[in-house]
């Protein structure tokens, strides 16, 4: 990777193959961003280093309240570095990850969920700016010195996600509306997966649905993030269809996988339950007995009766 030595020594383990960069802001107006090669990226005031293409290499937060940072951050979780604006003390703080968290197709959902919890907890602790999406970050590279900024180096070792998660107090409640870019990414993916699991949506483009979901966020994600998430969900959906989506054997397999627990299984159980209701009603209307419906869907006869009563089709 092309990250400077000092950043690698402080735990940055991955780099984007074509990171976004920007000349920063002038008179309160942000310059346009564009992509370049990793070796050139470290010469710009702002660049994309938290997102390393298909993985997340660091948690980066925008902190506009230095007092809240000093009083709210657990002592066990000091950032690996901070890039501080000298005029007002505002800064970007980075926590590098020993194991970058993969996202997009075939990514395991448990690490993504844990990353969301850790990011939301750190953001709430330091009262970070919820509008910051974590893409363009202040440049901490020693080879690049921005006028009016200084770098405060901290912990050298990168973090394991579980290390941060262990600091989260028992009973801590995650914000209802995600306050970080990572949190909104996870929420968008999970909501879109639930939507894609409904057979009635099979002919609707996932990107169209993703745009609708994104507009519900207080701070919508960049269009590029929405496109990437929709593309990932489409790949999952194609796999479901190829494996006999919503046929009894497929549903039985998903039920077995769902018993393993975790975020992904919760998502599976949700859309399985929704689809079972649809199929139960349809089969009953076709004249099938309750026992036959139960055998086809892999549920009890009593559960079939409950579903049909709820839909007025006993």
Residue 282's pLDDT band (boundaries 50, 70, 90)? confident
Structure tokens at 18: 């074509």
| Residue 167: count of CB within 10 angstroms of its CB | 16
Predicted local confidence at residue 236, as pLDDT: 83
Residue 194 token pair: 């639930």
Domain boundaries, the chain: 5-172, 176-243, 246-314
Phi-psi domain of 283 (left: phi exceeds 0; alpha: psi -120 through 50; beta: other): alpha
247-272 pLDDT tens trace: 667 667 666 665 554 444 444 455 55
| CA dihedral sign of residues 106, 112, 114, 115 | positive
Cα 177 to chain center, whole Å?
A: 13
As a whole number of angstroms, the distance between CA 95 and CA 99 comes to 12
- Distance in angstroms (rounded) separating the CA atoms of residues 120 and 131: 13
Whether the pLDDT of residue 245 is over 50: the answer is yes
| Sequence-ordered list of residues with C-beta below 8 angstroms from that of 43, at least 6 positions apart, any chain | 143, 144
| Report for 94-98, 101-105, 192-196: range of highest mean pLDDT | 94-98
Nearest by Cα to 96 from 155, 40, 41:
155
Residue 155 or 268, more confident = 155
pLDDT at 11: 94
* Token couple for 30: 């942000």
Residue 274 has pLDDT above 70, yes or no: no
Least confident segment among 106-110, 131-135, 148-152, 241-245: 106-110
- Of the CA atoms within 13 Å of residue 218, those in its CB half-sphere come to 12
If one counts every other C-beta atom within 10 angstroms of the C-beta of residue 21, the result is 23
Place of tokens 């075939």: 106
Burial class (CB in 10 A: 0-12, 13-18, 19+), 71: exposed
pLDDT tens readout for residues 174-216: 887 888 988 998 888 888 888 888 878 888 899 999 999 998 8
Look up residue 178 and give its two tokens: 């995600």
Q: Are 258 and 269 in contact (CB under 8 A)?
A: yes
Residue 152 confidence class, pLDDT cut points 50, 70, 90: very high
């Amino acid at each position: 990777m092309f990250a400077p030595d000092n950043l690698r020594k402080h735990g940055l383990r991955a780099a984007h193959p074509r990171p976004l960069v920007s000349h920063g802001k002038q008179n309160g107006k942000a310059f346009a961003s564009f992509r370049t090669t990793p070796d050139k990226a470290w010469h710009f005031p702002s660049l994309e280093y938290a997102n390393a293409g298909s993985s997340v290499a660091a948690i980066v937060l925008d902190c506009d309240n230095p007092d809240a940072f000093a009083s709210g951050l657990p002592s066990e979780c000091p950032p690996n570095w901070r890039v501080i604006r000298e005029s007002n003390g505002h800064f970007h703080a980075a926590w590098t990850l020993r194991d970058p968290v993969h996202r997009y197709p075939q990514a395991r959902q448990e690490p993504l969920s844990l990353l969301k919890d850790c990011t939301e907890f750190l953001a709430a602790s330091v009262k970070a700016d919820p509008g910051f999406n974590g893409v363009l970050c202040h440049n901490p590279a020693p080879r690049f010195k921005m006028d009016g900024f200084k770098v405060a180096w901290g912990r050298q070792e990168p973090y394991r996600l579980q290390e941060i998660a262990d600091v989260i107090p028992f009973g801590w409640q995650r914000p209802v509306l995600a306050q970080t870019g990572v949190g909104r990414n996870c929420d968008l993916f999970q909501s879109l997966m639930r939507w894609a699991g409904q057979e009635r949506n099979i002919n609707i483009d996932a990107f169209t649905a993703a745009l609708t979901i994104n507009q519900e966020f207080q701070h919508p994600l960049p269009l590029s993030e929405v496109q990437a998430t929709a593309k990932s969900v489409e790949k999952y959906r194609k796999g479901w269809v190829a494996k006999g989506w919503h046929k009894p054997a497929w549903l039985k397999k998903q039920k077995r996988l769902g018993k393993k627990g975790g975020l992904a299984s919760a998502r599976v159980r949700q859309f399985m339950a929704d689809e079972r209701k649809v199929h139960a009603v349809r089969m009953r209307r076709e004249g099938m007995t309750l026992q036959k419906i139960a055998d086809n869907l892999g549920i009890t006869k009593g559960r079939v009766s409950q579903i049909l009563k709820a839909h007025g089709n006993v």
